[in-house]
Structure 1
Amino acid sequence: MNESEKKRFNDRVCVGQVRISADVYITSGMSESAAEVEIKVPNEDYQKELELYERICDFALLHGEDLQGLFQTRSYYYMSCFIRNTDAFKQVFGEYDALKPLFNHAKGDAAEFLISFPERSNYEAQEPVKDAFLKLIKNHVKTLDEITWHSFENRALTGETEGGGIDLITKESFDFEDERDKITTLSREDFVQYTLSSAFEVDYYTTPLFKGAEAIGEIDGFRVFYNSRGFYFYWNEDTEFLLESWLTYPSYPYGWLS
């Protein structure tokens, strides 16, 4: 990890929880999880679990690559890093009973190990922030003139999308093409609520969002913005909590990829 990634890791991970996946190749360029374990340290009295957890953290900081958010559960967003030196990981952790499933799954040699930590965040405060954000943008979206709204509608119906994927909560597959008519079947207020998304993002992701944006309100001292390229957003620079609502969903907003 570089220094920025190490700082993010040290500042944001939830102490005492880690998930580790042993990934194996299913094709020459694609891998999937063959086995997964979760280590939890309920409190400081669990010395054995604490020692293992701390060793995993140290190993991740030393050998982890490509720290990024890859998945979420109903409770947490996770930061994950890849351990590509699988032999070193086995040498250090091969004798721990709690990690034996990672090495004894009989599905082939590990291509990599994925170590994932839940981010530290104030989940209790998310819903009030989301409610306040929705109230602001629902009031604002009603004021957009018809020409502007029709341009977003056209973008939603014809613009480029990511294609599809797997819902991280339900695990069901979806196709963004099936979402294109939402802008025509929902009211404006319902549409911005439908397209609401949340994540934890660093400043290099959020900086481009401010180009062409105007503040339309604030929540607890952090501003809510409307960007004429076709989206609303709120970013708390202290917690790195980001809310977005795309007015061109499921297509990328104008200039999103430039």
Structure 2
Amino acid sequence: METNAKLIALALIISTLSSPLAHAQNPAGPVPPNEPALAMKGPDGDAPHPGGPGRRHGKPGPGFGRDDRGDEQEPGRRHPAGGLTSLTTVSGTVGQFVGNDDFILDGFTLNAGSGPTTTVKFPPHLGTQVQKAIKAGSTVSVTGFSETAPTGETRFRMNSLTAGKVTVLDAPPVRPTTVPDAPALTTATGKIADYRLDRGGRVSGLVLDDKTIVSIPPHVAYQLTDLAKKGSTITVQGYPKTLRDGQVHLEKVNVLRASVLTINGQQYLVR
């Protein structure tokens, strides 16, 4: 009996050592779940990035930053969830026009007679139509829906606007028949008069003493607050912001998207 027990125990040990599970063990320890032991490289030699096709080096794929009508999304714009959105109509008198961070017309204030003033927003490509249809003091009816910006501001998103016999609809932009020429590289030199802040209170650009606005990404602006103080002289190479069809500036302003900055004789590439 003792001999048989020893034989059975030996057979169990041999069976365990020869099982597929034992051979599958990683000598360096178990592979963490959901993590490949070796990341595969993409066709260009880079490791693939999360986000699916069209996303490399942290850059968004096609369509990111644009809404489903093809126009650029303004910072903080939130589309309602899919499905039906309830529309309401508000009426009142137009106060003043408002614009986005590039001073492009994209809204106006509306005084309904009681309660706080409402800010009505619309896509920038409708700017020319809205500017022709209304002015300060005009009586208008606006159909749309309320939305809340990341800053907590409540706004009224326009779906249609009626002023007298004129109606402006939130229609998609017309695709241009010809491809516009690429903007030419421009150089500007001046003293930093102020920092430009976005709606979230973050530095998003520089204002030079000749009123030129230098547009830079927030992470670059964060570095510049130490490198370029107010009153410092700076040379900027960049590309001017051009208006698309239907867009209109609230005031004449030169917006330059920086590509190279020269500060105290040192050049910096803006990335």
TM-score where L is the length of structure 1? 0.25
Structure with max Cα Rg: 2
Q: Relative contact order, CA 8 A, sep 6+: which one is greater?
A: 1
Identify the structure with the greater helix proportion.
Answer: 1
